[in-house]
Amino acid sequence: LEEAFKSIFPKADVQRCVVHKVRSTMNKARKKDQAELSLDLKRVYTSSTFEEADKVLKELKEKWKKTYSRELASWEEDLPVLLTFLHYPEEIQM
């Protein structure tokens, strides 16, 4: 879908839905881990810069690597399109 969109609007930015990504991750998390993992992920998408978000995500990958390495690898892969809004002025980010 992104490729088709970019073929028509090559200069446009793509922003994936963070809420859907969180829900997808929570569906794969153990019930006992969901609250803590959710709060940890919130630190990623509420970061003020992309660099900060990337650093926080790396910390989470280390913390959760035994249990949720696949899910956090997916976050790392999608981070640029999940946090596109960080390229815009702070006033319109959220």
Q: What is the pLDDT of residues 4-47, one digit of tens each?
A: 988 999 999 999 999 999 999 999 999 999 999 999 999 999 99
Which tokens sit at 15? 């922003």
Rg (CA), the chain: 14
Per-residue pLDDT, 2? 85
**E-only strand ranges, the chain:** none
CA 84/CA 87 separation, integer angstroms: 6
Tell me: the pLDDT tens digits for 44-67?
999 999 999 999 999 999 999 999
Mean pLDDT of 80-85: 94
CA 12/CA 5 separation, integer angstroms: 8
CA 76/CA 91 separation, integer angstroms: 25
